[in-house]
Chains A and B, each alone.
Chain A
Amino acid sequence: MLIYTAKRILLAILVSLTVSALVFSLLYLSGDPATALAGERANEADILAIKAAYGFDQPVYVQYFKWLAGAVQGEFGNSVYFRLPVIDLITERLPVTMTLGVCAMAFALLLSIPLGVLAAMYPNSLIDRAALLLAVLGQALPSFWFALMLIVVFAYWFPILPASGSDSWEHFVLPTIVLGYYATPAFMRLTRTGLLDVLSSDYVRTARAKGLRPAKVLFKHALRNAIIPVVSLAAVQFGFMLTGSIIIETVFALHGAGFLAWESISRSDFPTVQAVLLLFSWFYIILTFLADLLNAWLNPRIRVA
């Protein structure tokens, strides 16, 4: 298990280095950054001054290593638009995104796993059909529309929850439901299929032949094996919830990191874009690493890999 963990850590470091190079090179993909920063009416001297100020006159690899060295210390430079350190912008916005992501993930798991288990225990029953309906709805509803409908119902017709802002826990209820519901169908279907498969396996029969109680057979012997693919998916989905919540954050006017990414892209605020992108990639890398560890704990066969 120690060797496995060490291997995973090494892999995670290599992946983040690759990603950081890609994120850095994005800067040059849209043309010369100094020209873009200087604006349309700038002359040659202005551009040269900007190049010197931002270090664009140095070789690219020097720029990259300087930037990377800063990044690992949390130093991303100043935002071109806000004129503030990027790290301050991010630390201000991140708690909102984190809270939303964690709540949405918890909501999705708490809804989908019990439903998936019930659907697998009683296949083709009423509860299975109801769960399927919920899944189809979840996949079919565009999240912005679902968000607007929730606002109409719970903030306008029955004004019990706030429609926008991020000041109290009540502000997070509706965004959590929208973001979490989006991930629910996949979790639920995966739990159901996995569990159905495992419940007809030989080792579950062995467990029953031992005289174990049905609950023990289900939770100890079946669910642990059925949940393995759900863990992998959850890691990816959680990354998505942390980074892809731009629409949700916009609809509910939650000023999170996703919203910040959107703002800085539209304003060509490249230090912020780079920082947010790198941060989001790190989320994915860390989550994948944690999912690998969790999977290894659940499934001893992959610990040797």
Chain B
Amino acid sequence: MTTTLSVENLRVSIPLSAGVLHAVRGISFEVAKGETLCLVGESGCGKSLTSLALMNLLPSRAKRDADRIEFDGTDLLGVGERGMARMRGNSMAMIFQEPMTSLNPAYTIGNQLEEGIRLHKGVSAREARERAVYLLEKVGITAAASRLTQYPHQLSGGLRQRVMIAMALMCGPDLLICDEPTTALDVTIQAQILHLIKDLQREFDMAVILITHDLGVVARVADRVAVMYAGEIIESGDVAEIFSRPTHPYTQGLLNCIPVPGKTRHGERLGTIPGIVPSMIGEMAGCAFANRCSYAQDICQQHVETHTVAPNHAVRCVRAEQVRTVAAGSLA
């Protein structure tokens, strides 16, 4: 598979009065054509900032740093803001969490769908309109042509998110970044939207990065998973491998929090992870999860390398092998 995006040692820091907040602390990952990578983690772990950093849409105070961000063979660190603007909405597109507020209330759906393609591809108004209707139909909106003259306030949340998806696909991007695309939607609509993203990915052969805190979503759509904690990727690998043999104590904790039909007995307490996320202000030595981890030892305070524990399965934990053995034992 050809690699669409490859990121090495991405860092995002935000200077605050209390010190520098290291929101993303050196993460590396790749996404290939036609593949879905899920970035999963709890609120504040840096997953949304990661996606904004890729698009270079970070708030002006936040600083982005990386050893390499390569997209379709282009080094994004070297293209500058003008170069990024040429790619944004064109070869890389993004869908946001809040469909209710992500569309401009003052312009029609058609206007907002068409402006990107007219800018990037220089197509005529008619061609842009045809493409908009085609994509609105693709994302399952009925009476697509008449929707073009409607305003965002005339559409429901689910419809608006479909419009956002159609908008992201207007220029036929190679990479689609979806930042919690279903969080603000009803459960039934969530399932439809996820299904839609998956279908469209297959049809247009895109690389998709899907950001979520919902492991149910991950299980549904991901090919590969990267679990983030406190600005780092602590475990990554194929989705089946991560769900069947979670190795990092944090990933195990997360999976323990989910009730499993048929396995979790009625009235049984679900798992929790004790403690709280450490402050991300200032430098952090050793494993960020150590203060909440039942496997923690003195060695965890030292620098942690990422270990490969199986093909396509990497874990950032010095005790990965032991944890894996214990976990395998408890499962047996």
Which residues does A use to contact B, with CB under 8 Å? 201-203, 205-213, 220-221, 224-225, 298-301
Given the contacts A202-B96, A300-B151, A301-B153, A208 and B88 also touching, CB distance less than 8 Å:
yes
* Complex Cα gap A225–B120 (Å): 25
Give the contact-size bracket for chain B. 20 to 34
| A300→B57 contact, CB < 8 A | no
Q: When the two chains form their complex, are residues B86 and A211 in contact, meaning their CB atoms are under 8 A apart? A: yes
Cβ–Cβ contact B57 & A205, under 8 A: yes
Q: Is the CB of B104 within 8 A of A211?
A: no
Within 8 A of A (CB), among B60-117: 84-90, 93-94, 96, 98, 101-107, 115-116
B167 at the interface (CB under 8 A from A): yes
B240 contacts A by Cβ under 8 Å: no
Closest-by-CB residue of B relative to A208 is B57
Q: How far is the CA of A202 from the CA of B84 in the complex (A)?
A: 19
| A206 contacts across to B, CB distance below 8 A | 96, 102-104, 164, 167
Determine if B326 is an interface residue (Cβ-Cβ < 8 Å): no
Contact assessment for A203 and B88 in the assembled complex, using a CB-CB cutoff below 8 Å:
no
Measured CB to CB, the closest approach of chain A to B286, in angstroms, equals 35
19 CB-based A-B contacts, threshold 8 Å: A202-B101, A202-B102, A203-B105, A205-B57, A205-B102, A206-B96, A206-B104, A209-B57, A210-B167, A211-B84, A211-B86, A211-B87, A211-B120, A212-B115, A225-B106, A298-B106, A299-B105, A300-B106, A300-B153
CB of A197 to closest CB in B, whole Å: 12
Task: Find chain A residues with CB under 8 A from B120 CB.
Answer: 211
- Residues in chain A near residue B167, CB distance under 8 A: 206, 210
In the complex, what residues of B have CB within 8 A of residue A201's CB? 101
Kindly state whether residue B217 has any CB partner on chain A within 8 Å: no
Are B102 and A210 interface neighbours, CB within 8 A? no
Q: CB distance B55 to A221 under 8 Å?
A: no
Instruction: Give min CB distance, B74 to chain A, whole Å.
Output: 15
Given the contacts A208-B57, A210-B116, A301 and B105 also touching, CB distance less than 8 Å? yes
Q: Which residue of B lies closest to A225 (CB)?
A: B106
Instruction: Tell me, in angstroms, the Cα distance from A298 to B120 when the chains sit together.
Output: 26
Q: How far is the CB of B179 from chain A (nearest CB, A)?
A: 10
**CB proximity of A207 to chain B, nearest CB, Å:** 7
List of A residues within 8 angstroms of B94 by Cβ? 209
Q: Separation in Å of the B129 CB from the closest CB of chain A? A: 17
Which residue of chain A lies nearest to B55 when distances are taken between CB atoms in the complex? Answer: A209
Q: Is B277's beta carbon under 8 Å from chain A?
A: no
Asked if residues B88 and A210 are in contact (CB atoms below 8 Å), the reply is yes
Q: Does B20 reach chain A (CB closer than 8 Å)? A: no
Expressed in whole angstroms, the minimum distance between the Cβ of A191 and any Cβ of chain B is 16
Q: How far is the CB of A194 from chain B (nearest CB, A)?
A: 13
A216 to B157, CA, bound (A): 26
Contact B119 A225 (CB under 8 A): no
Q: Please give me the 7 A-B residue pairs with the lowest Cβ-Cβ distance, nearest first.
A: A210-B89, A211-B88, A211-B89, A202-B101, A210-B116, A203-B104, A300-B151
Asked whether, in the complex, the Cβ of A221 is within 8 Å of the Cβ of B85, the reply is: no
Are A299 and B85 closer than 8 Å at their CB atoms? Answer: no
Task: Identify A211's interface contact among B85, B102, B151, CB under 8 A.
Answer: B85
CA distance A220 to B94 in the complex (A): 20
Q: How far is the CB of B232 from chain A (nearest CB, A)?
A: 25
Whether A225 lies near B88 (C-beta < 8 A) is: no
CB-nearest residue of chain B relative to A206? B102
B234-291 at interface with A (beta carbon < 8 Å): none
Q: Is the CB of A209 within 8 A of B89?
A: yes
| Chain A residue at minimum C-beta to C-beta distance from B153 | A301
Measured between beta carbons, the chain A residues less than 8 angstroms from B89 are 209-212
Interface centre among A201, A208, A298 (most CB of B within 10 A): A208
For A301, the chain B residues whose CB sits under 8 A away are 105, 151, 153
A211–B153 CB distance below 8 A: no
Complexed CA–CA distance, A212 and B98 (Å): 20
Report A-chain residues with C-beta under 8 Å of the C-beta of B55.
209
- Contact bitstring B197-228, A, C-beta under 8 A = 1, else 0: 00000000000000000000000000000000
Contact B106–A209 (Cβ < 8 Å): no
Q: Contact partner of B106 among A202, A208, A211, A299, CB < 8 A?
A: A299
In the complex, chain B residues whose CB is within 8 Å of the CB of A205: 57, 96, 102
Known interface pairs A209-B57, A211-B85, A301-B153; A225-B90 also in contact (CB < 8 Å): no
Minimum CB–CB distance from A222 to chain B (whole Å) comes to 9
Chain B residues whose CB sits within 8 angstroms of the CB of A224 once the complex forms: 106
CB-defined contacts of A207 to chain B, threshold 8 Å? 104
What residues on B are CB-neighbors of A220 within 8 Å? 107
A225: contacting residue among B105, B115, B153, CB under 8 A: B105
Q: Is the CB of A300 within 8 A of B115?
A: no
| Minimum CB–CB distance for A119 against chain B, Å | 16
Q: Is the CB of B104 within 8 A of A221?
A: yes
> In the complex, which residues of chain B have a beta carbon less than 8 angstroms from the beta carbon of A225?
104-106
Q: How far is the CB of A226 from chain B (nearest CB, A)?
A: 10
Q: List the B side residues contacting A210 at CB < 8 Å.
A: 88-89, 115-116, 119, 167
On chain B, the residues within 8 Å of A300 by CB distance are: 105-106, 151, 153
Assess the B116–A203 pair: CB atoms within 8 A. Answer: no
A274 to B103, CA, bound (A): 50
The answer to whether B101 and A203 touch across the interface, beta carbons within 8 angstroms, is: yes
- Give the contacting residue for B93; candidates A209, A213, A298, A299; CB below 8 A: A209
What's the nearest-Cβ distance from chain A to residue B42, in Å?
22
Task: Quote the shortest CB–CB distance from A46 to chain B (angstroms).
Answer: 65
CA distance A207 to B57 in the complex (A): 11
- Give the shortest distance, in Å, between A305 (CB) and chain B (any CB): 12
Partner of A212, one of B102, B103, B107, B119: B119
CB of B297 to closest CB in A, whole Å: 44
